[in-house]
Amino acid sequence: MRVLLLNLYYPPDTSATAKMAETVANALARENEVTIFCGRPSYDPTEHRPWRLFQTEKKNGVRIVRVGSTDFPRFNMKKRVLNYLTYTALVIPRALFTRCDAILAMTDPPFEGILGAFVAMLKRKPYFYNIRDMYPDMAVGGAIVAPGLLSRVWEKLHRWALRRATRVIVLGEDMRNRILGKGVHDHRIEIVRDGAEILPSGAPRPQFDSEVIRQIREGFRFVVLHAGNIGFYGAWETLVTAAKQLSGDGIGFVFVGEGAQRAQLESLAAGVSNIRFLPFFPGSKIPSVLAAADAHLITIKRGLEGVVVPSKMYGILAAGKAIVAAAPNEADAVVLGERSGFSVAADPDRPHDLATVVRRLGADPARVAQMGRAALAAAPAYDRVKELEKFVQIVSRSRSR
């Protein structure tokens, strides 16, 4: 089957959606002909591409077509929108004249799902919509776009795209509930989690870098770690206020990563002695970063549960670490964590609740160890290989239909 995948970002872009687009494309390419239409690298790329109207390459059996979109850095939002628009203008005509049997769209740019539905409608092909972050909910909830005419029109078009989809593929139960609330029938929604790499029994354990662990832990007896994108979805003020309440307990809050809200978070945390900021470490150091913490933080602002689903949870489980979820009760990190015993939750609007939860964990190493064992036990249920197999089966079923 010939599958046409639409997503602006693709390696050498380093965004999470770029990496996942590559993972999905490679999995589909084992049994199908896969073409991805992406843009010129612009999301912290490891390398750039000169401008060409279209550039074609092949890697791991995937045909990669890069359109000549602008490649302004992601930190300038106005110019980033120009990246979106130039990509869209070039992708639509090229996609319409590219032979395929099914169309799969992700969520970069944020209106990619609408674009994919439009192309699929004109080509009369099955349409699969893999929602990574839900827009416009994310844009409005993260205060990127103000409520008004634009958001209402965007939402109306998005609901149209959802109804056009043969299958809507979401990241978790909380996102599935969001989609149900938009009027999509239950049988058309599939959950495929990002999952984690599960090492087979007897495989050698990763070697940890003592210097990475020292940078994270130095000066703290108990570390709660947020590793990943510091974006619009987090309850950052709650985390900072809770950290202040724990400054005399030897408990450190460490943030590893970058993102649109990092500067604001650093400003909020100015002068707080038990908050530390570190840049991203190389990918080879991820096992050491995961191992360095006593517990890992997952945070989602109230109202954004199911709009964003932090995929880092599965790597934390595979590392056998406890999770502190500053998130609404409906979020997967809370629901799944309480079901399996690997997480504790705190209201994202109540810093005192979070401080109390962390203080209790810091004083109870036996409970932290038990939660870590529960995490390890839960991890195989979210094996990335099995989740990718599920993804391929969902798309491949359209052939028989």
- The pLDDT, as a whole number, for residue 16 is 86
For the beta carbon of residue 218, count every other beta carbon within 10 angstroms: 11
The closest alpha carbon to 256, from 233, 220, 223, belongs to: 223
Beta bridge partners of 310: none
Query: SS3 for 76?
Result: coil
Res 141: pLDDT: 83
Q: What pTM was computed for the model?
A: 0.90
Q: Give phi and psi for 71, each to the nearest 5.
A: -130, 45
In whole angstroms, what separates CA 323 from the centre of its chain?
17
> Helix 365-378 crosses helix 332-340 at what angle (to 10 degrees)?
100
Q: Coil, strand, or helix at residue 28?
A: helix
CB 286, CB 315: distance < 8 Å: yes
- How far is it, in rounded angstroms, from Cα 176 to Cα 184? 10
Strand order in the sheet with 295-299: 275-278, 251-256, 222-227, 295-299, 322-326, 343-346
DSSP state of 9: -
Q: How far is the C-alpha of 345 from the C-alpha of 339, rounded, in Å?
A: 12
pLDDT per residue rounded down to tens, the chain (401 residues)? 999 999 999 999 988 899 999 999 999 999 999 999 999 999 989 899 999 999 999 999 999 999 999 999 987 888 999 999 999 999 999 999 999 999 999 999 999 999 999 999 999 999 999 999 999 988 888 778 888 999 999 999 999 999 999 999 999 999 999 999 999 999 999 999 999 988 877 677 788 999 999 999 999 999 999 999 898 889 999 999 999 999 999 999 999 998 888 999 999 999 999 999 999 998 889 999 999 999 999 999 999 999 988 889 999 999 999 999 999 999 999 999 999 999 999 999 999 999 999 999 999 999 999 999 999 999 999 999 999 999 999 998 866 45
What domains can be seen in the chain, in order of their start residue? Answer: 2-195+383-400 (3.40.50.2000), 210-382 (3.40.50.2000)
Q: Which residues contact 34 (CB under 8 A, 6 or more apart)?
A: 3, 5, 25, 28, 61, 62, 63
pLDDT computed for residue 399 by the predictor: 60
The answer to whether the CB of 48 falls within 8 A of the CB of 25 is: no
Which residues, in sequence order, are bridge partners of residue 129? 105, 168
Q: Answer positive or negative: Cα dihedral of 65, 67, 71, 77.
A: negative
Query: Using an 8 Å Cβ cutoff, are 320 and 293 in contact?
Result: no
Core vs surface per residue 242-262: b (16+ CB within 10 A) or e: bbbbbeebebbbbbbbbbebb
